[in-house]
Structure 1
Amino acid sequence: MRSARARLSEQERLASRAHDRAAAAENHLARLVEALDFLPVGIVVSDDRGHELARNRRASSAVGDIQSDVLIARALEDLLMEGRTGTRHERTLELYGPPARSVRISVEPLPSGGAVAVVEDASLRRQLDAVRRDFVANVNHELRTPVGALGVLADALAGERDIEVVHRLAARVSSEAERARGLIEEILEFSSIEANRTAPHQPVGVAAVLEAAVERTLALSERRGVPVRVVEPPDASVTGNRAQLISAVANLLDNAIKYSETGATVEVGVTANGASVDITVRDRGIGIPARDLDRIFERFYRVDRAPIVRHVASNHGGEVLVESREGEGSAFTLRLPRTP
Structure 2
Amino acid sequence: MVFDGEGLVIDSNMASTPFLEARHGDALVGAAVNDLVRIANSGQEASTVIELFGPPRRTVVVSTLPLPEGGRPGAVAFVEDITERRQLEAIRTDLVANISHELKTPVGAIGLLAETLEGENDQVVVERLASRIHTEAMRIAQIIEDLIELSRIESIDGAGSGTVDMNEVAADAVERLRAAASQSGVEVELHVSTTAAVIVGERRQLLSAIGNLIDNAIKYSDSGTKVEVTVERADAEVLVRVADHGIGIPTRDIDRIFERFYRVDQARSRKTGGTGLGLAIVRHAIANHEAHIEVESRLGEGSVFLLRFQSVVDDVRADQTISSLNERA
TM-score normalized by the length of structure 2: 0.57
Q: 1:226 aligns with which of 171, 180, 186?
A: 186
Deviates more, 1:329-338 or 1:250-259: 329-338
Aligned to 2:227: 266
Partner SS for 2:240: strand
Higher relative CO (Cα under 8 Å, sequence separation at least 6) belongs to 2
CA distance in 2, matches of 1:280, 1:145: 34
Does structure 2 retain, via aligned residues, the 8 Å contact 1:138–1:300?
no
Aligned to 1:288: 249
- Report the residue type matching 2:201 in the other structure: G
CA positional deviation for 1:308: 0.8
Q: 2:175 aligns with which of 215, 231, 234?
A: 215
Does structure 2 retain, via aligned residues, the 8 Å contact 1:205–1:237?
yes
Partner SS for 1:287: coil
Query: In the TM superposition, what are the counterparts of 1:157-196 in structure 2 within 5 Å?
Result: 157-161=117-121, 163=123, 165-196=125-156
CA distance in 2, matches of 1:128, 1:238: 32
Structure 1 unaligned residues grouped into runs of 5+: 1-95, 98-126
CA distance in 2, matches of 1:279, 1:131: 31
CA positional deviation for 1:165: 4.5
Does structure 2 retain, via aligned residues, the 8 Å contact 1:320–1:335?
yes
Query: In the TM superposition, what are the counterparts of 1:238-249 in structure 2 within 5 Å?
Result: 238-249=199-210
CA distance in 1, matches of 2:159, 2:234: 26
2:266 paired with 1:306 = no
Residue by residue over 1:244-273, the C-alpha shift from the partner in whole angstroms, topping out at 9 and shown as x without a partner, is 111111111111122222332210113444
Aligned to 1:251: 212
Query: In the TM superposition, what are the counterparts of 1:104-115 in structure 2 within 5 Å?
Result: none
Does structure 2 retain, via aligned residues, the 8 Å contact 1:267–1:281?
yes
CA distance in 2, matches of 1:259, 1:189: 22
Structure 2 unaligned residues grouped into runs of 5+: 1-54, 57-86, 264-268, 314-329
Aligned to 1:106: none
Does structure 2 retain, via aligned residues, the 8 Å contact 1:131–1:311?
no
CA distance in 2, matches of 1:133, 1:330: 32
Residue by residue over 1:64-97, the C-alpha shift from the partner in whole angstroms, topping out at 9 and shown as x without a partner, is xxxxxxxxxxxxxxxxxxxxxxxxxxxxxxxx99
CA distance in 1, matches of 2:90, 2:165: 30
Could you say if the C-alpha distance between residues 191 and 284 of structure 1 is closer, same or farther in structure 2, counting changes exceeding 3 Å?
same
Could you say if the C-alpha distance between residues 168 and 287 of structure 1 is closer, same or farther in structure 2, counting changes exceeding 3 Å?
same
CA distance in 2, matches of 1:169, 1:180: 17
Partner SS for 1:157: helix
Q: 1:276 aligns with which of 225, 237, 250?
A: 237
Alpha-carbon RMSD across the aligned residues, in angstroms, is: 3.4
CA positional deviation for 1:223: 2.8
CA positional deviation for 1:279: 1.0
CA distance in 1, matches of 2:89, 2:143: 20
Partner SS for 1:291: helix
CA distance in 1, matches of 2:93, 2:308: 23
CA positional deviation for 1:218: 2.4
CA distance in 2, matches of 1:339, 1:134: 39
CA distance in 2, matches of 1:217, 1:236: 22
Does structure 2 retain, via aligned residues, the 8 Å contact 1:267–1:282?
yes
CA positional deviation for 1:241: 0.7
- Report the residue type matching 1:179 in the other structure: R
- Report the residue type matching 1:175 in the other structure: T
- Report the residue type matching 1:325 in the other structure: R
CA positional deviation for 1:137: 5.3
TM-score normalized by the length of structure 1: 0.55
Residue by residue over 1:135-156, the C-alpha shift from the partner in whole angstroms, topping out at 9 and shown as x without a partner, is 6654343222212221222223
CA positional deviation for 1:294: 2.2
Could you say if the C-alpha distance between residues 331 and 232 of structure 1 is closer, same or farther in structure 2, counting changes exceeding 3 Å?
same
CA positional deviation for 1:338: 2.8
- Report the residue type matching 2:178 in the other structure: L
CA positional deviation for 1:275: 4.3
Q: Which has the larger radius of gyration?
A: 1
CA distance in 2, matches of 1:326, 1:287: 4
CA positional deviation for 1:209: 1.4
CA distance in 1, matches of 2:221, 2:309: 26
